[in-house]
Amino acid sequence: MRGKPIKRIGVLTGGGDCPGLNAVIRAVVKTANYEYGMEVIGFEDGFGGLINNQARKLAAADVSGILPRGGTILGTSNRDNPFKYAVVRDGQKVWADVSDRAFANAREHGIEALVVIGGDGSLSIAKEFYDKGFPTVGIPKTIDNDLSATDVTFGFDTALTTATEALDKLHTTAESHHRVMVLEVMGRYAGWIALESGIAGGADIILIPEIPFSLERVCEKINSRKAEGKKFNIVVVAEGAKPAGGEMVVRKVIADSPDPLRLGGIGNQVGNELEKLTGMETRVTVLGHLQRGGSPTAFDRILATRYGAAAVKLVAEGEFGQMVCLRTPNIEAVPLARAVKELRRVSPDSDLVMAARAVGTSFGD
Amino acid sequence: MRGKPIKRIGVLTGGGDCPGLNAVIRAVVKTANYEYGMEVIGFEDGFGGLINNQARKLAAADVSGILPRGGTILGTSNRDNPFKYAVVRDGQKVWADVSDRAFANAREHGIEALVVIGGDGSLSIAKEFYDKGFPTVGIPKTIDNDLSATDVTFGFDTALTTATEALDKLHTTAESHHRVMVLEVMGRYAGWIALESGIAGGADIILIPEIPFSLERVCEKINSRKAEGKKFNIVVVAEGAKPAGGEMVVRKVIADSPDPLRLGGIGNQVGNELEKLTGMETRVTVLGHLQRGGSPTAFDRILATRYGAAAVKLVAEGEFGQMVCLRTPNIEAVPLARAVKELRRVSPDSDLVMAARAVGTSFGD
Amino acid sequence: MRGKPIKRIGVLTGGGDCPGLNAVIRAVVKTANYEYGMEVIGFEDGFGGLINNQARKLAAADVSGILPRGGTILGTSNRDNPFKYAVVRDGQKVWADVSDRAFANAREHGIEALVVIGGDGSLSIAKEFYDKGFPTVGIPKTIDNDLSATDVTFGFDTALTTATEALDKLHTTAESHHRVMVLEVMGRYAGWIALESGIAGGADIILIPEIPFSLERVCEKINSRKAEGKKFNIVVVAEGAKPAGGEMVVRKVIADSPDPLRLGGIGNQVGNELEKLTGMETRVTVLGHLQRGGSPTAFDRILATRYGAAAVKLVAEGEFGQMVCLRTPNIEAVPLARAVKELRRVSPDSDLVMAARAVGTSFGD
Amino acid sequence: MRGKPIKRIGVLTGGGDCPGLNAVIRAVVKTANYEYGMEVIGFEDGFGGLINNQARKLAAADVSGILPRGGTILGTSNRDNPFKYAVVRDGQKVWADVSDRAFANAREHGIEALVVIGGDGSLSIAKEFYDKGFPTVGIPKTIDNDLSATDVTFGFDTALTTATEALDKLHTTAESHHRVMVLEVMGRYAGWIALESGIAGGADIILIPEIPFSLERVCEKINSRKAEGKKFNIVVVAEGAKPAGGEMVVRKVIADSPDPLRLGGIGNQVGNELEKLTGMETRVTVLGHLQRGGSPTAFDRILATRYGAAAVKLVAEGEFGQMVCLRTPNIEAVPLARAVKELRRVSPDSDLVMAARAVGTSFGD
């Protein structure tokens, strides 16, 4: 616990866009203003704004009305690292440590503590700030929901909702045309969006990084459905899904594809193969950036608001080097050091996976 | 664990409509069919269908496509209790115990176990069934989310989403017209929908049963906002919210109201009083049944699917007299006896309430 | 056609909130700035801002991002008429003509023409402005879509969408509980929202001002559905719907109602009567202000944008005293004098009504 | 006008999936049953069902509840033409005229008239049926809204809504990351979806087939926005948009692209080029099949219902060889011969395009 109350804090958003960032910013500013009488300075475009001193004061009026809006009014970036910043010296681009410049800028604004909203990358920088003596508090942000230190992250429920709505839409076309419809969703290392949207959208097949799939088993599922009289199939594929025999197997088959323009991510690869192997008309949709945008769901707005309020409380209590997290039903804090260490991945034995299998979903394994 | 595998189970939905009921029914049928080779008989309109032997076989094909649909394909009712059933004897309506008839009907269909999806009332009957020797498993259903035995109940997230969307809509009118907009939402004993939609919808004032309010404090909040230049106010009122001085205070004031047609629930009462006390134009909306309908959110579809799959697993394992519940992140089981005993209410000291206060929300206390 | 190009125009929004107002304001400002090099002054809260000189400059940056937002950034009011304005003289409230003050304020801001976005009331004032020599152009705004001078008005499609979504939600509860669900929607003199949402939401019974209804015929419809095995009914009632025998018939029956708290608008009256007459459980929802709020639909944003652009074009071409309107597929202009004269009401012989009847909908006649 | 009333009609849906097909089927069945006492036979999967005699009776109960659902309960196909049908003769695939078989199947079912819901292809077949003496009525279906014979077609408003929602989502990411976001939407020959969603979604640049674009002019627009301080750009591209200098120009540039996997449709091509030419981070989303699915909007449900009711009326009145169409505000009929002849394309001089330009949108010309 600090002796003197803190009068002014900084806040920034780093990493990829995520629904709920504005709700966090609003909660940080309102809690700071109303609850603790602190002023807030917002840095623009992630750590870039701290390095280049692009900042503005954020009062309660500045965050009025932003709760339901996607994106971040501060801008964000996943490129600027104060400890490894691209500068041009002697006509050459080199990496430099410009953290002293960042600290100096912070001091110039009278910032006594910094709230960093971001993913792995940004929180690692936050940890370095703290290790170097700068009072810092973190708020986790990952749309993939793959952080072991918290039950859920904000933005995930919105992305899940977008993916589920897409599956609802693809269902009608799949049924009407007797097609295989493939939807590729986000999830490079963890298959949460694919798994949960697949359950919510009634997918027949779900392919995730944690459960390597075999195209043969996927085809078996499609054929067994055909035998039951089901003439269509919905397949959800996480972008990081991988075939059991290793990536190369698919790549090799793909190399023979007559239509190289349809290549691309795993979604298109799986779609191409299934069309060839099953003879069924197959269509692929890549959801892409639609998952990062839009008005956050009620769930995400609430979680984001709780995170923002709790982070400022940590600052007020002098609990630095911590990150807020959800331990249902409470908001708690964990050291930044531990926070960014471990990935939360789907366990193939979890009852979530078991429930999906129980209602007939195949994971292609 | 039972000796002989179960071959046929029954399922029914009781109590008020709730988004996700169809998702549960689908999961029960598919899990029974695919995972355990059990047949399923659905009873219509709650326990009434069991008493009057209105039932039909439910195969996987019968539940195809119902995952995203609101309501229950089985129908529901909150009136028919086999242990206290209205019958006419000697020209008079009397209450009779017709549970033997219900058991006989179940036996006639070859039902070896019953899955009851319902709230307090239906689960209490399920417990009596179990106590009388009928193998029964429960699945909790309450849109109010007020069950202490589980972290969340399905349907709540959909109702919350509907209430939040309503607040988003009322916001624009409130701002454009400089009005007080009051929204009355469900929650007779627990204020979860009001609290969470209030946070998600950026309400200025939230009135819930757990925190008795004073109209004076509500007016103070409105006036302090006026002083800040905020010309509008959003008020969310749970239907069970009560003034601190007791219900009568408001009723008395209301009795003098010149417009008795605008009387009614607490939402209208609060709206009338605020208009008189603040002189601001006030409009009241009662969300009512809109909260019970519609396609369940992704969250609710997933939870409902997990509940359904877990309930059939309990049946298969011979674990009767239990109710499924969510202990994040797992689905677990608790005895029916304990399940229906305790109400989960909002704690005024919870960090959810604290977060709401931190961003400036008043609870009128 | 004017000689000298106009350099500065004013804009204001009057009357009730309506989705699309911001889209119009944005189009007016952007078109004025980009296309004609005009500056724009926005007056706040309808004609009140002109009378009391509350105004601000609106540049393109000020309207950035408001296209998808409900409400009006200028505020609106339906109370302040410059030709009949409430002022206090000698301690008494009297009506005064303060139009000279309004003109003076307009001149002070260098306004050479005024764009008035509003309904009947506001456009009548706009016409008086024009008659008194002030160059004025009108943009029609009525959520009820009851203006004969234009095919459609913006805001209507959004209200229709909100009402249809409500019917979709009520459907599941109606089916699950075998109830009569009544939805009261806007439409005091014209039943467009009730008629179109009723068709889109699959209502069984639609009651509108243009077709007086008989409760007996409504009950006949409910009974004939019961005979077909349909156990639920969806009834949409426009707030201006009236029984064939005159209003008193219903009022008289209502007077005997045991539950005066459930009285109120026509929706509640119809609901009460149907419950008594059919013996079916009946629930009433009054959609109210939810119809005026929210993000405008794509259709409304487009129509609003076209109106705004066309209105500034009229100003640039010196075509004053006109109102923009949609004559599918073109935007045209009609004199303000004609614009506000005639109500567009539902014709009982229109093919819209015929289509509703053809699919089995009853109008209670 | 025919002498004897028709007792039984057939209905089928052909061509690509489109929101509102089920609403049309429902209206056809209900109108036939309720209004004219006709029975309805539904043929499955387009003309294939007529050729292969896959049909089922559709009563009112069969179409209950399908109004809000996307897709078609009858299935659809755009491959089977009775006048040019793929059959295997002597081990070889040849095209055969199997229309007599189709007529025989229709007679076997007692069909006296056929309602064909479909696009260009299906309606051309319908015309041939009529020319050969089979009483046929058409209902136009094209999600692209490019039929000159009608003001609007059903399905378009839903696709427009989906595209607009996508733009709303991309906006937040574009702003937060200072990116160029490109959205490719449907529209091979006509740019209606791109144009209208671009206006509704506030796109900065809209590229449509009717207005050939120049990448240089697109870059000029982006640069002029940069000069205004706008750091992001939203670009909507119709799949049929073409550069002014001819298709080859773009193809040539693309051939040098370092990342052939990102090639593909015009959206990806434009995105690749803009990133190279402007140096701004660019992301491309291809909306694809999401535009064909989902619950139809209120507007589409109403239009579809009117079309269905009007088509059966034409049948009852013996008006064959006609297609229903919307001439706002009425439903009318035009000869099938004329109906399929002419494409409705965006006129570069229309006030819709003018309005888009007026608010600052560039068409890259």
Inter-chain touch D285–A288, beta carbons under 8 Å = yes
Residue in C68, C160, C196 nearest the CB of D168:
C68
What are the residue ranges in chain A where pLDDT is below 50?
Answer: 1, 248-262
Q: Which of B31, B302, B349 to mutate to test the interface with A (most CBs of A within 10 A)?
A: B302
User: Is the model's pLDDT at C11 over the cut of 60?
Assistant: yes
The three state secondary structure string of C44-90 is CCCHHHHHCCCEEECCHHHHCCCCCCCCCCCCCCCCCECCEEEEEEC
Inter-chain touch C151–D302, beta carbons under 8 Å = no
Touching check for C38 and chain D: CB below 8 Å?
no
Read off the pLDDT band of B250 (50, 70, 90): very low
Query: What rounded mean pLDDT belongs to chain A?
Result: 93
Mean pLDDT within B188-203: 97
* Separation between Cα atoms, residue D44 and residue D67, nearest integer Å: 18
Residue with tokens 């109710």: B323
Look at C3 and A152; give whichever has higher pLDDT: A152
Q: Which of D199, D314, D325, D344 to mutate to test the interface with C (most CBs of C within 10 A)?
A: D199
For chain A, what is the radius of gyration of the CA atoms? 23
The C-alpha of A258 sits at a distance from chain B's nearest C-alpha, in angstroms, of 36
Inter-chain touch A176–D69, beta carbons under 8 Å = no
* Separation between Cα atoms, residue A165 and residue C261, nearest integer Å: 40
Residues ≥6 apart with Cβ < 8 Å to B271: B180, B182, B235, B262, B282, B283, B284
Q: Which residues of C touch B16 (CB under 8 A)?
A: 177
User: Is the model's pLDDT at D260 over the cut of 80?
Assistant: no
What is the dihedral angle through the alpha carbons of D122, D128, D130, D131, rounded to the nearest 10 degrees?
160
User: Is the model's pLDDT at B307 over the cut of 90?
Assistant: yes
Q: Is C106 left (phi over 0), alpha (psi -120 to 50) or beta?
A: alpha
Q: Give contacts of C 9-28 with B, CB under 8 A.
A: 13, 16-17, 19, 21
Q: What is the distance in angstroms between the CA of the first residue and the CA of the last residue of chain B?
A: 53
Mean pLDDT within C10-20: 96
Q: Which residues of C touch B21 (CB under 8 A)?
A: 176
Report the sign of the C-alpha dihedral through residues B149, B154, B155, B161, in that order. positive
Residue in C61, C196, C230 nearest the CB of D298:
C196
Residue in D69, D261, D285 nearest the CB of A290:
D285
Total number of residues shown for chain B: 365
Its pTM stands at 0.95
The confidence score (pLDDT) of residue A245 equals: 77
Read off the pLDDT band of C78 (50, 70, 90): confident
Read off the pLDDT band of B246 (50, 70, 90): low
Residue in A61, A64, A355 nearest the CB of B309:
A355
Q: Which of A69, A161, A164, A177 to mutate to test the interface with D (most CBs of D within 10 A)?
A: A177
Cβ-based burial of B212 (10 A; exposed 0-12, middle 13-18, buried ≥19): middle
Inter-chain touch C309–D157, beta carbons under 8 Å = no
Residue with tokens 């608010």: D359
The C-alpha of D55 sits at a distance from chain A's nearest C-alpha, in angstroms, of 15
Residues of A annotated as catalytic are 144
- Residue pair A12/A42 in contact (Cβ under 8 Å)? The answer is yes
Q: Give contacts of B 331-350 with C, CB under 8 A.
A: none
Q: Which residues of C touch B169 (CB under 8 A)?
A: 70, 162, 289-290, 292-294
**Structural domains in chain C?**
8-154+296-328 (3.40.50.450), 159-292+348-358 (3.40.50.460)
Residue in A297, A330, A358 nearest the CB of B35:
A358
Q: Count of CB atoms within 10 A of residue A87's CB?
A: 11
ipTM for the assembly: 0.94
Q: Which of B172, B184, B263 to mutate to test the interface with C (most CBs of C within 10 A)?
A: B172
Touching check for A313 and chain B: CB below 8 Å?
yes
User: Is the model's pLDDT at D72 over the cut of 90?
Assistant: yes
Touching check for A254 and chain D: CB below 8 Å?
no
- At residue D328's C-alpha, the angle toward residues D323 and D333, to 5°, is 20
Q: What percent of chain B has pLDDT over 70?
A: 94
Q: Give contacts of A 142-181 with D, CB under 8 A.
A: 162, 165-166, 168-173, 175-178, 181
Report the sign of the C-alpha dihedral through residues D73, D75, D78, D83, in that order. negative
* pLDDT tens digits along B157-191: 999 999 999 999 999 999 999 999 999 999 999 99
CA-based nearest residue in chain C for residue D296: C200
Reply yes or no on whether B157 is catalytic.
no
* Separation between Cα atoms, residue D91 and residue D17, nearest integer Å: 33
Chains within contact range of chain C (3+ C-beta pairs < 8 Å): B, D
Inter-chain touch C171–B17, beta carbons under 8 Å = no
Inter-chain touch D301–C200, beta carbons under 8 Å = yes
* pLDDT tens digits along B78-88: 889 999 999 99
Inter-chain touch C310–D151, beta carbons under 8 Å = no
The confidence score (pLDDT) of residue B3 equals: 66
Q: Which residues of C touch D302 (CB under 8 A)?
A: 196, 199-200, 352
Query: What rounded mean pLDDT belongs to chain C?
Result: 93
The confidence score (pLDDT) of residue B248 equals: 40
Inter-chain touch D169–A260, beta carbons under 8 Å = no
Report the sign of the C-alpha dihedral through residues C34, C36, C40, C45, in that order. negative
Touching check for D283 and chain A: CB below 8 Å?
yes
Across B130-163, b (16+ Cβ under 10 Å) vs e yields beeebbbbbbbbbbbbbbebbbbbbbbbbbbbbb
Q: Indicate the pairing of strand D322-327 with strand D136-140.
A: parallel
Residues ≥6 apart with Cβ < 8 Å to B54: B43, B44, B45, B48
* Separation between Cα atoms, residue A257 and residue A265, nearest integer Å: 14
* Separation between Cα atoms, residue A35 and residue A32, nearest integer Å: 6
* pLDDT tens digits along D123-141: 999 999 999 999 999 999 9
Report the sign of the C-alpha dihedral through residues A302, A307, A308, A314, in that order. positive
The confidence score (pLDDT) of residue C246 equals: 63
* Separation between Cα atoms, residue C292 and residue C78, nearest integer Å: 15
Inter-chain touch D178–A17, beta carbons under 8 Å = no
Give alpha helix (H) positions in chain D.
Answer: 21-30, 36, 47-51, 99-108, 120-131, 156-177, 192-200, 215-227, 247-255, 266-278, 298-316, 336-339, 351-358
The β-bridge partners of C208 are C211
- Residue pair D254/D272 in contact (Cβ under 8 Å)? The answer is yes
- Residue pair A151/B326 in contact (Cβ under 8 Å)? The answer is no
Q: Which residues of A touch D177 (CB under 8 A)?
A: 16-17, 75-77
* pLDDT tens digits along C243-302: 997 654 444 444 444 444 345 699 999 999 999 999 999 999 999 999 999 999 999 999
* pLDDT tens digits along A134-155: 999 999 999 999 998 999 999 9
Residue in C178, C260, C286 nearest the CB of B75:
C178
* pLDDT tens digits along B34-63: 999 999 999 999 999 999 999 999 999 999
Q: Which residues of D touch A165 (CB under 8 A)?
A: 294
* pLDDT tens digits along C48-64: 999 999 999 999 999 99
Touching check for D67 and chain C: CB below 8 Å?
yes
- How many contacts, defined by CB atoms under 8 Å, are there between A and D? 117
CA-based nearest residue in chain A for residue D263: A261
Report the sign of the C-alpha dihedral through residues C314, C315, C321, C325, in that order. positive
The C-alpha of D23 sits at a distance from chain C's nearest C-alpha, in angstroms, of 9
* Separation between Cα atoms, residue C131 and residue C125, nearest integer Å: 10
Mean pLDDT within C304-314: 98
* Separation between Cα atoms, residue B166 and residue B147, nearest integer Å: 25
Q: Which of D13, D289, D292, D295 to mutate to test the interface with A (most CBs of A within 10 A)?
A: D289
Residue in A60, A309, A351 nearest the CB of B331:
A351
Query: What rounded mean pLDDT belongs to chain B?
Result: 93
User: Is the model's pLDDT at D254 over the cut of 70?
Assistant: no
The C-alpha of A356 sits at a distance from chain B's nearest C-alpha, in angstroms, of 8
Phi, psi torsion values for C157, nearest 5 degrees: -65, -35
Touching check for C212 and chain B: CB below 8 Å?
no
Which is nearest to C58 in space by CA: C72, C79, C77?
C72
Q: Which residues of A touch B30 (CB under 8 A)?
A: 358-360
